[in-house]
Structure 1
Amino acid sequence: MKLSGLLAAFLLFCTYRTCFGMSHPKPACRYPPSQWCRSLEIALECKVQKQCMEVNAIRPNQTVPPVSVTLYYESMCPDCRIFITQQLFPTWTMLQDIMAVTLVPYGNAQEFPSANSPFSCQHGEPECRGNMIEACIIHLTGHSAAFHIIYCMESSADVLNAAQPCLQLYAPSIAWSTVDSCVEGGLGYQLMHKNAVMTRALNPAHTYVPWVTINGEYTEENEDKAMSSLFQLVCQLYKGVKPPACTGAAVRLNRSLC
């Protein structure tokens, strides 16, 4: 039996049994099981997104460079949170073998030569703290682990209050006191200054967030595609053999900006 057939059989079995520690009812969708993991949209419609993410059955040729996606964002921008939770994280989870994600929490903030309050943020002081917490988490855990933690924070009702439990869930070896020391000490400000420099160096300069660069470059065309269907864009730009998940059709979503 081909691998795609095995995957389909496995997913079909999971609709009636407990898989990955969860029990899933048979999804009501218009696609046969063999197509459930062909795209993010199909997986969502058929309610097997988690299974498709965790199976990750086929890995592409690692000699082909991944598609590099860099997100310039703010921790409490509603539109950034929507993009992270509904587009970027699900796409990365399903296509992480062919894409690399860099997160730059700063966005529309401003940096001032002041020892007491060197940063001013669009959504107030709590956002400045959220940006710094996420910058410290990225520094302390690395982008892959940090992405899970930041997704956990951004998908919660309260970004700041979710930081500690999300860290404990996805990086239990990192004590919260380490993150707190980073935020309250000089390291946090150094990391935010670095993000400020990266953001100010954007060419063209960013005019809103979320702001996305692909392979180090920004174009309005790629920004529009990333906002409406990042999954399709990554599949389109990857120069290696496309993974099976890249063969499905995309569904355009509404975009919004801060």
Structure 2
Amino acid sequence: MNVSLGLFLLGFYFVLESSECRPSSPCLYPPAQWCRSAEKCGVQKHCFEQKADGLNQTDSPVEVALYYESLCPGCRQFLVLQLYPTLLMLHDIMAVSLVPFGNAQESGQKPPYTFTCQHGEDECLGNMIEACIMNLTQFSFPIIYCMESSEDVIKSAQVCFQLYESKVDWNTVMTCVKGDLGNQLMHANALMTQALNPPHQYVPWVTINGEHTDDLEQKATSSLFMLVCSLYKGAKPAACTGAAKKVDRSYL
């Protein structure tokens, strides 16, 4: 999938969502994030109604963690076709963590650490860029999605970043990548990956509420949406139940 197609799919979802609440022009975030910046996005009434309808639950969200590599074909497929679409639809009842490291190897007893990646130096660079983006931005997932859905993950990085973070200089990301911060972020990802129990055997490696089993991995990679809906203990959102929802469009 090239960058244009990836952005088209994201934009298509944006158009569908905007039929319910159309954000004002200063809103730069995708629909899943509108209620986190309700005043700026001009959707205060919509978000208030969400709370009234019980969509913002006090029950613990389903925690989904993806341990992956930036250039791994299977990882990219899961992130683009399962994880991101599910998050867009079920963002109120799930929490997502991305850990780019996977089957990489770390060497060195103290910083700067050296990393060797399964798909070569470009993958190490991609991992580092994505780790830095996650550290430097509040809403990083759309950027990571944009990169991973593109034809070339590395070449699309700057375009994807500037699409969603136009006020942040791309050089800030590259300073992180080339400096101590990026090295420390990758070391932290290495430690998190090495601490997995059971130890990861392949990527993508998915944990659900901190747990990994063959059954959970199979369910997550075949239909993450159904899995999250089934595991959430609170009142199910309309997306899970298929219930029709009456929308007041008077604020459009």
TM-score > 0.5, shorter chain as reference: yes
Percent identity between the two aligned chains: 61
Map of 2:162 onto structure 1: 168
Counterparts in 2 of 1:53 and 1:196: CA distance versus 1, 3 Å: farther
User: What secondary structure does 1:231 align onto?
Assistant: helix
Aligned: 1:97 with 2:92 = yes
User: What secondary structure does 1:111 align onto?
Assistant: strand
Q: Measure, in 1, the Cα distance between the counterparts of 2:93 and 2:188.
A: 27
Runs of 4+ in 1 over 2 A off after TM superposition: 48-59, 114-117
Root-mean-square deviation (CA, aligned residues, Å) is: 2.0
Q: Measure, in 2, the Cα distance between the counterparts of 1:52 and 1:117.
A: 45
Q: Measure, in 2, the Cα distance between the counterparts of 1:192 and 1:184.
A: 12
Aligned: 1:136 with 2:123 = no
Q: Of 145, 148, 152, which aligns to 2:146? A: 152
Q: CA deviation at 1:218?
A: 1.0
Map of 1:202 onto structure 2: 196
Q: Gapped runs of 5+ residues in structure 2? A: 1-7, 21-30, 32-45, 243-252
Q: Gapped runs of 5+ residues in structure 1? A: 1-21, 23-47, 249-258
* Counterpart code for 1:78: P
- Residues 106-121 of structure 1: pairs in structure 2 closer than 5 A: 106-113=101-108, 118-121=114-117
* Counterpart code for 1:128: C
* Counterpart code for 1:88: L
Q: Measure, in 1, the Cα distance between the counterparts of 2:190 and 2:17.
A: 33
Q: Measure, in 2, the Cα distance between the counterparts of 1:116 and 1:176.
A: 23
Q: Measure, in 2, the Cα distance between the counterparts of 1:177 and 1:49.
A: 30
Q: Of 65, 69, 84, which aligns to 1:74? A: 69
User: What secondary structure does 1:159 align onto?
Assistant: coil
Map of 2:119 onto structure 1: 123
Q: Measure, in 2, the Cα distance between the counterparts of 1:122 and 1:85.
A: 20
* Counterpart code for 2:93: I
- TM-score w.r.t. the length of structure 1 is 0.73
* Counterpart code for 1:119: F
Number of residues paired by the alignment?
200
Counterparts in 2 of 1:239 and 1:116: CA distance versus 1, 3 Å: closer
Q: CA deviation at 1:173?
A: 2.0
User: What secondary structure does 1:100 align onto?
Assistant: strand
Counterparts in 2 of 1:205 and 1:129: CA distance versus 1, 3 Å: same
Map of 2:25 onto structure 1: none
Tell me if structure 2 keeps the 8 A contact 1:106–1:131. yes
Q: CA deviation at 1:167?
A: 0.6
Map of 1:62 onto structure 2: 57
- Residues 178-217 of structure 1: pairs in structure 2 closer than 5 A: 178-217=172-211
